[in-house]
Chains A and B, each alone.
Chain A
Amino acid sequence: MKISRRHFIKSTGTAGFALWLGLSAKGLPQKHTAGSALQHFSPFIRIEANGKITIYNTKPEMGQGTFQSFPSLIAEELEVTLDQVTILQSNGEKELGTGQRAGGSASIRTSYLAMRKVGAAAREVLILAAANKWNVTPESCYADRAKVIHKPSNKSFTYGALVEDASKLELPKEPKLKDPKNFNILGKSSKRPDVPLKTCGKAEFGIDVRLPEMLYALVVRCPVIGGTLKTFDAKEALKVPGVKKVAAVERIVGKYHYTGVAIIADSYWNALQGRKKLRVQWDTKGYETFNSVEYEAQLRKLGDEEGLTDKNIGSVETAQILPENELEAFYETPMIAHHTLEPMNCVAQIKDNKLEIWTSTQVPSSVTGTGANDLHKYVGFTPENIKLHAKFIGGGFGRRLYMDYIIEAVNVARLTDKPVKVIWSREETTQQGPFRPMTFSKMKAGFSTAGKLMTFQHKVISPSYFESFQADYDQSKVDSIMVEGIGEQAYEVPNLKTTYVRAECHVPVAAWRSVTSSTLAFAHECFIDELAYKAGKDPMNFRLELLSKPSDSKKVLLKLKELSSWDTPLPQGTGRGVAIWDFFAGLCGQVVEVSHHKDKSITIDRVIALIDLGEVVNPDNVKNQVEGSIIMGLTAAIKPGITFKNGEVAEHNFYDNPLLRIHESPKIEVHILADGGKIKGVGEPGLPPFAPALANAIFAATGTRFRKMPFQLKTE
């Protein structure tokens, strides 16, 4: 068994940075000649005369597997094996463009062809360089495992021997891509090179960064969200051994500016001791009266408002529906925290008016970028004076799309010229947000007297994502993020209306894995199920009847029906549920089977998932992602969310805001559809269909309909 692949992994470090000097970027593919020994065929590929091949991964690795899958696209076309390349993580370098971010399950679906072209263009010039040397036609040569081979004579050159000549050639703009049937890497399961680093403690996450003379810091933040700093008394805290400095620092998250009190010490432990002695007074500004129970009641009330129209097909108002053929339901989901297991943290140093940052971030391009909302705007350093070291991410799930913890760390770093590591405690990571907003859904639909589904309405009541980020958010417009996906399901309903009612909110909200689909799919797909029962139809067949035209959703459901043996009856006390969700990130359908026991508890017997990808890079990694999405979906379905009492988050740590554990995790089967169709994402689509498929299965087994998350796996 060959397992260790450490020999081709190198951590990113200062050595990586020097490579970028003197390069320019004018679109891709582009060739760079940066010196005699190093040849850059594009910013993404470096081949050295000694044969060493480096591919830059621009998608931060947070567990989704892009550390391998993104370079795989290049390696496949370059005709090198993954064992022959060193993968380096990019650090927001200008030359690698503004796409250095991981979010929206976008890495592969948006780069699949572009990155293959980068690899193919390099391959073609290497072949041409060899052909010229031999004075033969390029057509008589081929590339294989980092060599160019002349077919008739079997002569060969290594890529290293060709780089100098190849670098003088023009890169083809439209290189010929490989026929997928000749793929060596894409579509085949392989071991991820970051895995060995993660089994021996060597993978360096942001929180693991250690620098000479580094100091440690924590920030005491107002427990009442929205409160401001009145005064603090650091006298006693400063007497604690190791405590160096105590000062107010600002954190910016979206439109919200918060001020906390930083304690800098020679160790995190000593900073924690200092914290015990620090006295802080906050002005809670009236937010101390904020309670979830009342807020949720307000949201329910807002359900009566008409709201802003998102999608409007046909006319739900004029369709003739008899009252007895109508169905209404109200669904509720909670706020939740991301709970990345690596708490928020960031190392920053300011020296000679230059800012250097070491952290786990999903958005390296935003840390070093020149965009209007990039880091420079918040910290007062010009982008060229900001240097980033992007580390492995101990869980992202959307939380590390936001730079609030980086901005705050920069403000802490202003207090010293030494590097300083700011660590958030689990409690702070749990309580300070931003959180996934709750969504409440008011559903209404109606059948014709002939039993045809005529109208379907989904009204979303929730705080606004955009409003949390833009002080000048236009409330007269629908927040498209908050109605994500609900107007775009493939079901054919002649009259469809989706609407949005904005709820006032002072708590910062954020994208959370699969964004609003993580909550809206629950309401939408459970209500479809309710309609199936009202129509007296099997929930799978009811859905298929709404999908007369060809669509990816129909294809997935048909296949899922077969994979789950849907038509095989289950014993008494057990039930099957189905759900499917098509949204920006991709498409996945799931069938869940549950048992209802004598003590009224419910167990999940198995989950069958089918993810539709169009093209797949590493099937085993996809399965891992879907398994994880299902477990995260189950966690969100049955574990408590974030609630407020007297303005403060009532939950603290995993003891009162628990996550799913191994003994609660069900059997999961993941199947992949990769039939060459539209390329879809991997990291998120497995999440939205799980909760509704589970709730639908529970209804099938017990007759109890859960319309509020979280729900317990038992009946009354």
Chain B
Amino acid sequence: MITLTINQQPYQIEADPDMPLLWALRDLIGLTGTKYGCGVAQCGACVVHLNGEAVRSCVTKLSRAAGQKIVTIEGLSKNNDHPLQLAWNEVSVPQCGYCHSGQLMSAAVLLRENPNPTDQDIDNAMAGNICRCGTYPRIRKAIHLAAELQKKEGEAK
């Protein structure tokens, strides 16, 4: 039995400790917002947070995830209102949308570590996330907007 804490909820699953977290999330727990894209840590569609760090869940074994704090796209905010989600909607970033769970989870770590990223910072932090539809210009724009929103949110508090 493996215990996982996902989006602050405890889950007990019966699974091979070598199973990647991705498949446990999707197939065993039913959190399908985290996507399978490549299986080899190349595309970033499966990015989740493990103790606050962005990891590729397709290559993160359950043995590593057990007992750790995991956040998936479903837990990024309660009401789809993380500054990045607000910005993504305001800028109408997604096309097919398949990669954007991963894009948002990578961007969330960037924005936490660097509240005011430059284009260069964004390129560096987001280069691990592929978007086949080519929404990159909008991802950049939305991250800048989210940085502003986050700032305002901070000021309001």
CA–CA, A202 and B31, complex, Å: 9
Q: Among the listed B74, B76, B136, which residue makes an inter-chain contact with A662, where contact means beta carbons less than 8 Å apart?
A: B136
Binds B, one of A147-155, A412-420, A622-630: A622-630
B132 A661 Cβ-Cβ under 8 A: no
Known A1-B90, A426-B39; contact A341-B136, beta-carbon cutoff 8 A: no
Contacting pair A208 B93 (CB below 8 A): no
CB-contacts of B94-138 with A (<8 A) = 94-101, 104, 122-124, 126-138
- The verdict on B51 contacting chain A, using a C-beta distance below 8 Å, is no
Contact across chains for B76 and A200 when beta carbons are under 8 A apart:
yes
Which residue in B104, B128, B135 is a CB contact (below 8 Å) of A199? B104
Contact B100 A268 (CB under 8 A): no
Given A201-B74, A394-B97, A663-B123, residue A341 in contact with residue B89 (CB < 8 A): no
B40 beta carbon closer than 8 Å to chain A: yes
Instruction: Bits for A170-202, please: 1 = Cβ < 8 Å to B, else 0.
Output: 000000000000000000000110111111111
* Chain A residues within 8 Å of B12, by CB: none
Tell me if A701 counts as interface (CB < 8 A to partner B). no
Closest A residue to B94 by CB, please name it.
A198
* Distance from B63 Cβ to chain A, minimum over Cβ atoms (Å): 14
**Is B133 a contact of A668 with CB atoms below 8 Å?**
no
Task: Name the residue on B nearest A267 (C-beta).
Answer: B27
Known contacts A1-B86, A199-B89, A628-B134, A62 near B31 by CB under 8 Å: no
Asked whether A63 lies within 8 Å of B94 as measured between CB atoms, the reply is yes
Asked if B33 contacts A392 (CB within 8 A), the reply is no
The answer to whether A341 touches B138 (Cβ under 8 A) is no
Given the known interface contacts A267-B27, A395-B133, the answer about A210 and B40 at a Cβ–Cβ threshold of 8 Å is: no
Of A62, A201, A268, A625, most B-chain CB atoms within 10 Å: A201
Contact A627 B135 (CB under 8 A): yes
A574 to chain B, nearest CB (A): 20
The proximity string for A residues 386-397 relative to B, scoring 1 for CB distances below 8 Å and 0 otherwise, is 000000111111
Which residues of the other chain, A, contact B130 by a CB distance below 8 angstroms? 341, 654, 659, 661
Minimal Cβ-Cβ distance residue in A for B16: A269
Contacts A200-B80, A267-B27 hold; do A341 and B37 have CB atoms under 8 A apart? yes
User: What is the interface residue range for chain A against chain B?
Assistant: 35 or more
Given contacts A4-B80, A631-B134, A665-B136, is CB(A342)–CB(B35) below 8 Å? yes
Contact between B94 and A199, CB atoms less than 8 A apart: yes
Determine whether A348 belongs to the interface, using a CB cutoff of 8 Å to chain B: no
Which A residues between 360 and 417 are near B, CB-CB below 8 angstroms? Answer: 392-397
- Do A661 and B90 have beta carbons less than 8 Å apart? no
Contact B23 A4 (CB under 8 A): no
In the assembled complex, the Cα of A72 lies from the Cα of B80 at a distance in Å of 25
Closest to B126 in A: A662
Residue in chain A with minimal CB distance to B74: A201
Could you say which of B30, B40, B95, B139 has the most chain A C-beta atoms within 10 Å of its C-beta? B95
Say yes or no for B57: interface residue by CB 8 A criterion. Answer: no
Are the CB atoms of A342 and B80 closer together than 8 Å? no
6 A-B contact pairs sorted by A residue (CB < 8 Å): A269-B23, A269-B27, A397-B132, A624-B95, A654-B38, A659-B132
By Cβ-Cβ distance, the 7 closest A-B pairs, closest first, are A201-B33, A631-B134, A198-B97, A63-B95, A394-B98, A63-B96, A628-B134
